[in-house]
Amino acid sequence: MEVANPLKRKRDDVVPPDDSQVDLSILEAVEKSQNAVEVLDLRTLKRLVFSFERRLKENIEARLKYPDQPERFADSEVELHEELEKLKILAGAPELYPELVNLNAIPSILNLLSHENTDIAIDVVHLLEDLTDEDVLEDNDEPARILVDSLIENNVLELLVQNLQRLSDKDPDEMSAVYNTLASIENMIEVKPAVAELVCERTKLLRWLLGKIKVREFDSNKQYASEILAILLQNSTANQKRLGQMNGVDVVLQAVAMYKSKDPKTSDEEEMLENLFDCLCCLLMPLENKERFVKAEGVELMIIIMKQKKSAYASAIRALDFSMTKYPPACERFVDVLGLKTAFAAFMGKIPMSKKNKKERYQEELEERLVSLIASLFGGILRGSRRERLLSKFVENECEKIDRLMELYIRYSDRVKAETQRLEQLELDDLEVIHVRYFSSLHSTLR
C-alpha cells in the first residue's frame, strides 16, 4: 500500500557538509554500528523470544494492576512494540522457524491480535506478513509448512479476521494493516492450499470481503479484497457454494455493473475489475449459482456490457459462456432478451478493439469463447421457437455465419495438425510430458 511520504528537500537544496566541522571518529563509530549485523542463530532466537515474553508479561501485569490508568502501562506497551519489531529479524532466517515453534512463542504472539491497544495488534499483523512473505519462504518449504501449521493450530485465521473487523480504512496505519492481513492470508494459502477453505469455514472473511467490494469508491484494499476473493473461489467448490448462499452472485454482479458504461481509470482499477469477473466465473461453476445468476438478471447485464463495448466486453462474454455451459435456462434467457444479435455480431468479427487488446491472442480467445457459447446454445435449446431463431441466424446474409464457422474450423484443424507434427518430432523419452504439452496447447480448440 502506498503511504504518503513527508516532504523531502530537493537534492540541490541540501547543503554539503563541511569536513572541517565533522568529528571523523564519530562517523567511523556510526559506520561500524550500521555494518554490524547480528548473527541469526538459535542462541539469538532464544534471546529474542525470552526478551519478548518478559516484556509481554510486564505489559499484562501493568494492565491488570492499573486498568484505569493508561499512563501507568504506556511505557510497557512501547517496550512491547519494540520487541515485536525486533522479532521481524527472524524473516531473514526462515530455517529457524521450527525452533520458533518449539519455543512455544507462536501462541503468545498471536494472542496479541486481540490486544486492547490496536497498535500492538497491528504490530503483530506486520510481523506475520514479514514472516510469511513469499520471497522469504521461497526454497524453505519445510520450515514454511511447520510455521503455517503452528499458526493454524493456534487460531491465526480466526484472530486475524476478528482483528480485521475492528480496523478502519480512514486511518492510514489501520488501512495498511488491512492490506497486510490479506497478504498474510494469501501467503499461508500459498504454503498450504487447504487454508483457502479453512479460513472460510472458521471465520467471517467471505462476508467481510463481500462488504469490501460493495463499496463504490476504489482503493488498494478494495482491489486486494477482490484478488483474495478470487483466490478463495478458484479451486474450491465449497467456497463457491458458500458464497452463493450469502447472496454473493448478486453482490459481485452489482460490483461489475458499476463498469457497464465506463472504463476503469487506472491499471489497478482495471485489475480489480478482472478479479471481479474471475470471481463471477468461479461462482458460476455450481449449478445453483447459475440459477441465482439468471434470477439476478446477470444474462441481461452481460449483454448490456457487450453492447456498451467498454473494457469489460471480453469478460462479459466469458461470464456468459460459464453461465450457459450445461444450463439450458440461461440459454433460453439469452435468446429471450435478444442476445443472439449481439453474440453473432461478435462471432462475425465485429469486436471492439483498443490499444490494450489489439493483440492477436485477445481476438483468438474471444473467438474460442464465442464458439463455446454458441455450442452451449445448441446444446441447451433443442426445440421450439428459440431453436428456430438460433438456426435462422445461420441462413442470414447468404449463410455468412456458416462460412465463418468453416473458416474457424479449418484454422483450428490446421493448428491441431501442426501441433501433432511438432510433438511427433520430439524424443519419446517422456510420454507424460508430451501428453501434457499436447492438451495444454489444444485446450478449448475444436472442443
For residues 409-419, b (16+ Cβ closer than 10 Å) or e, as one string? Answer: eeebeeeeeee
Q: Which of 293, 223, 221 is nearest to 252 (CA)?
A: 293
Tell me the per-residue pLDDT of 293-324, one tens digit each, with 9 for 90 and over: 999 999 999 999 999 999 999 999 999 999 99
Lowest mean pLDDT among 144-148, 259-263, 268-272, 437-441: 437-441
In a domain, 347, yes or no: no
In a domain, 381, yes or no: no
Average of per-residue pLDDT across 31-58: 80
In a domain, 255, yes or no: no
Q: Which positions ≥6 away from 87 have C-beta within 8 Å?
A: 48, 52, 109, 127
In a domain, 429, yes or no: yes
In a domain, 124, yes or no: no
In a domain, 308, yes or no: no
Average of per-residue pLDDT across 9-18: 39
Domain count, the chain: 1
Ramachandran bin of 37, using left for φ above 0, alpha for ψ from -120 to 50, beta for the remaining angles: beta
Tell me the per-residue pLDDT of 365-407, one tens digit each, with 9 for 90 and over: 999 999 999 999 999 999 999 999 999 999 999 999 999 999 9
> CA 278 to CA 295: how far, in whole Å?
20
Residue 179 contacts residue 221 (beta carbons within 8 Å): yes
In a domain, 182, yes or no: no
> What confidence score (pLDDT) does residue 392 get?
97
> What confidence score (pLDDT) does residue 55 get?
96
Task: Tell me the three-class secondary structure of 145-160, residue by residue.
Answer: HHHHHHHHHCCHHHHH
Tell me the per-residue pLDDT of 250-264, one tens digit each, with 9 for 90 and over: 999 999 999 999 999
Q: Which positions ≥6 away from 298 have C-beta within 8 Å?
A: 249, 253, 280, 319, 323
In a domain, 144, yes or no: no
> What confidence score (pLDDT) does residue 210 get?
98
Domain of residue 411 covers: 391-447
Q: Which positions ≥6 away from 16 have C-beta within 8 Å?
A: none
